[in-house]
């Protein structure tokens, strides 16, 4: 049985190894990494799943904003990566991490890049994100948001 702890309670090296196992060592070239370049995750919204002293999952959340074309900046939280050890998938670790981050975000506008079919269970949808841009290639239908994310044109980047 796993339990959730603050991400800061586990080794940064262990988190990197988990992310490599879940997404591959080439993950740093993805657009999501460009969005959060130079930022640190939000400690109060980033968690680890630990089982028998071993890291089996993690979630990180990042302070981002939509720089709207009309000049406003709307703060949001970028969720992800959500990583689960390949040997421990499909037992609820990812869901537990997501629900914990959502609960702790306390109604803040959340966004992520991910599989719409999976993230729909957490209330994420692409309805408001159709005019958003990112600093790199992405599939528009995978740009998802919840909790009143702004429905306006702009680019997502560091807060």
Residue whose tokens read 């702004």: 150
CA 61, CA 117: separation in Å to the nearest integer? Answer: 20
Confidence of residue 64 (pLDDT cuts 50, 70, 90): very high
**Mean predicted lDDT score pLDDT of the chain:** 96
For residues 153 and 124, give the distance between their C-alpha atoms in angstroms, rounded to a whole number: 18
Sorting pLDDT into bands at 50, 70 and 90, what band is 68?
very high
The strand pair at 73-84 and 110-113 is best described as parallel
Q: What is the pLDDT of residues 12-42, one digit of tens each?
A: 999 999 999 999 888 888 999 999 989 999 9
Q: What is the DSSP string of 30-72?
A: SHHHHHTTT----GGG-EEEEETTEEEEEEEEEEEEEEETTS-
Average pLDDT for residues 44-70, to the nearest whole number? 98
Which SS3 state, helix, strand or coil, does residue 2 take?
A: coil
User: Worst-scoring range by mean pLDDT, 24-28, 60-64, 131-135?
Assistant: 24-28
CA gap 159, 141 in Å, rounded: 23
Tokens 């990112």 belong to 134
Cα-Cα-Cα-Cα torsion 120, 117, 119, 68, nearest 10 degrees, comes to -80
Tokens (6 digits) for 118: 């999976």
Which pLDDT score is estimated for 144? 98
What would the pLDDT profile of 88-122 be if each residue is shown by its tens digit?
999 999 999 999 999 999 999 999 999 999 999 99
- In this prediction, residue 56 has a pLDDT band, given cuts at 50, 70 and 90, of very high
For residues 141 and 52, give the distance between their C-alpha atoms in angstroms, rounded to a whole number: 38
Residue 29: its pLDDT value, please?
A: 82
Q: What integer pLDDT is reported at residue 39 of this predicted model?
A: 94
């Amino acid at each position: 049985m796993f339990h959730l702890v603050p991400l800061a309670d586990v080794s940064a090296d262990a988190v990197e190894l988990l992310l490599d196992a879940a997404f591959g060592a080439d993950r740093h070239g993805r657009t999501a990494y460009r969005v959060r370049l130079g930022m640190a995750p939000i400690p109060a919204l980033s968690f680890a799943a630990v089982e028998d002293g071993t890291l089996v999952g993690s979630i990180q959340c990042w302070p981002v904003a939509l720089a709207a074309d009309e000049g406003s900046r709307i703060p949001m939280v970028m969720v992800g990566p959500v990583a689960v050890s390949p040997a421990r998938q499909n037992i609820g670790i990812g869901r537990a991490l997501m629900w914990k981050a959502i609960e702790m975000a306390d109604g803040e506008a959340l966004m992520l890049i991910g599989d719409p079919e999976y993230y729909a269970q957490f209330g994420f949808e692409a309805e408001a994100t159709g005019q958003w841009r990112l600093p790199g290639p992405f599939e528009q239908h995978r740009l998802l948001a919840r909790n009143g994310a702004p429905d306006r044109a702009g680019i997502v980047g560091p807060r």
